[in-house]
């Protein structure tokens, strides 16, 4: 492990100033991902800037009728916050499907957005990996790729983004607010994470000297017809092979609004607006859900050990949409359509 200095940021301006003056410095929040990366020699910051005491821990209603979430709100606090449980239960469910209670107590909202892939080779510094060492090659394409991506892949990288929380945020149309030396800006969650292309070392469109300050949820929360369905090798403490976050609005027996995002299948939470559009105006039915799933997966590509994910994703989309339409989110009672 490379030795590093430790400094505590006194406020947001101080955090930005400290990171801007030292290109090899990194922010640390809960530390649940960064410290592992340092131990595995994947990240080698020479200075850690501790942001965990900055006043970014509020969850508050916005004038637009939505909710603003501070970047340092712990995952547990967010999942159990009364505003989130009542108005955005999809987000609560997604967070609680991830990691363990202890990890969720430490993990922050901003850190969750920026957690890095769990591709096995990324964590093994003895193997080629374009994300860890650009130009070295991708060990996963012809290697052990059971957990890797089937959508949006490139010849350089087939990693997935592992977050559960971000999949729900994508379906909810969240916005990420950031501050850097040039001032404040906002990015739609769906544009925050990148596809690997030929720069897989860049996971997001956040600059190295920018701090995430908050995440904004619009007023539409899909609190009646929603589901977060996560398929994994074990029922707890495992990352998604495939997950689907769904929010539906039903009106007079037809789908008025449909959102769904996939996790575990791409370098970013995966949304397909065409697939959502075909659902609007249709009565909820297996045929309609199959049609939407086929649209999402028409360009899916497997790499051997992960090819099973294409069929798994199709079935998971259909099941998640069906659950949401019935108003039976995962792990709740099996309420039937009247
Ligand atoms: C064993 C294990 C199992 C897990 N299982 C799951 C799972 O099933 N699902 C899931 O979604 N997640 C899972 N996680 C991941 C966990 O959710 C993340 O590690 C956590 O959310 C990261 O948050 P953190 O505050 O600890 O980030 P840190 O480790 O402190 O930071 C992560 C990165 O974000 C940067 N950063 C942090 N905050 C900011 C900010 N405000 N602005 C700019 N940069 C910032 C840091 O510099 C660092 O690069 C698991 C983790 C472990 C260790
Ligand atoms: S898939 Fe990406 S992270 Fe995994 S080995 Fe290839 S380049 Fe590295």
Reading the block at residue 35, the tokens are 């410290």
pLDDT of residue 330: 64
**Strand pairing partners for 180?**
183
Please check whether residue 222 is in contact with residue 86, taking contact to mean a CB–CB distance below 8 angstroms.
Answer: no
* Per-residue pLDDT, 333: 38
Nearest CA owner, ligand 1 atom 47: 27
Strand order of the sheet with strand 47-50? 5-8, 47-50, 25-28
Strand order in the sheet with 183-188: 59-61, 67-70, 211-217, 175-180, 183-188
Rounded to the nearest angstrom, the distance between the alpha carbon of 26 and the centre of ligand 1 is 13
Q: Is 288 in the pocket of ligand 1 (CB under 6 A)?
A: no
pLDDT at 161: 98
**Is ligand 1 within 6 A of the CB of residue 27?**
yes
Ligand 2, CB cutoff 6 Å, lining residues: 117, 119, 121-122, 129-131, 138-140, 148, 157-159, 200
- The residue whose C-alpha atom lies closest to atom 8 belonging to ligand 1 is 98
Q: What does the pLDDT read at residue 2?
A: 82
| Any ligand 1 atom below 6 A from CB of 165 | yes
Q: Are 206 and 192 in contact (CB under 8 A)?
A: yes
Q: Whose CA is nearest to atom 51 of ligand 1?
A: 99
**Binding site membership of 110 for ligand 1 (Cβ less than 6 Å):** yes
Show the low-confidence residues of the chain (pLDDT under 70).
Answer: 330-338
pLDDT in tens, 152-204: 999 999 999 999 999 999 999 999 999 999 999 999 999 999 999 999 999 99
Give the number of the atom of ligand 2 that is nearest the alpha carbon of residue 145: 1
CA distances from residue 271 to 64, 95, 147 in whole angstroms, order as listed = 24, 19, 19
Q: Is 32 near ligand 1, meaning CB less than 6 Å away?
A: yes
Give residue 212's pLDDT. 99
pLDDT of residue 328: 83
- Residue 56: predicted pLDDT: 98
Instruction: For residue 48, report the distance from its CA to the centre of ligand 1, in Å.
Output: 15
Residue 200 contacts residue 131 (beta carbons within 8 Å): yes
């Amino acid at each position: 492990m490379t030795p590093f200095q430790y400094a505590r940021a006194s406020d947001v301006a101080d955090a930005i100033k400290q990171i801007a003056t030292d290109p090899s410095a990194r922010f640390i929040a809960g530390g649940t991902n960064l410290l592992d990366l340092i131990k595995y020699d994947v990240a080698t910051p020479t200075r850690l800037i501790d942001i965990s005491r900055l006043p970014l821990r509020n969850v508050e209603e916005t004038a637009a009728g939505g909710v603003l979430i501070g970047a340092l709100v712990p995952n547990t606090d967010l999942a159990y916050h009364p505003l989130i449980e009542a108005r955005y239960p999809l987000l609560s469910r997604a967070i609680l499907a991830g990691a363990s209670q202890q990890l969720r107590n430490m993990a922050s909202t901003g850190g969750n957005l920026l957690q890095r892939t769990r591709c096995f080779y990324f964590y093994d510094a003895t193997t080629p990996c374009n994300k860890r060492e650009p130009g070295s090659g991708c060990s996963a394409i012809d290697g052990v790729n059971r957990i890797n991506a089937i959508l949006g892949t490139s010849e350089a990288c087939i990693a997935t983004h592992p977050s559960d929380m971000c999949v729900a945020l994508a379906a909810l149309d969240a916005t990420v607010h950031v501050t850097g030396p040039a001032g404040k800006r906002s990015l739609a969650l769906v544009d925050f994470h990148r596809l690997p292309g030929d720069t897989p070392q860049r996971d997001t469109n956040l600059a190295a000297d920018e701090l995430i300050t908050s995440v904004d949820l619009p007023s539409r929360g899909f609190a009646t017809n929603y589901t977060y369905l996560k398929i994994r090798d074990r029922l707890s403490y495992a990352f998604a092979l495939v997950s689907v976050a769904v929010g539906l609005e039903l009106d007079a027996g037809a789908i008025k609004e449909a959102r769904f995002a996939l996790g575990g299948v791409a370098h970013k939470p995966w949304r397909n607006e065409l697939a959502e559009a075909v659902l609007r105006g249709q009565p909820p039915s297996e045929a309609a859900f199959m049609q939407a799933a086929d649209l999402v997966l028409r360009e899916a590509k497997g790499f051997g050990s992960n090819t099973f994910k294409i069929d798994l994703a199709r079935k998971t989309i259909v099941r998640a949409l069906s659950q949401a339409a019935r108003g039976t989110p995962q792990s709740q009672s099996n309420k039937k359509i009247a």
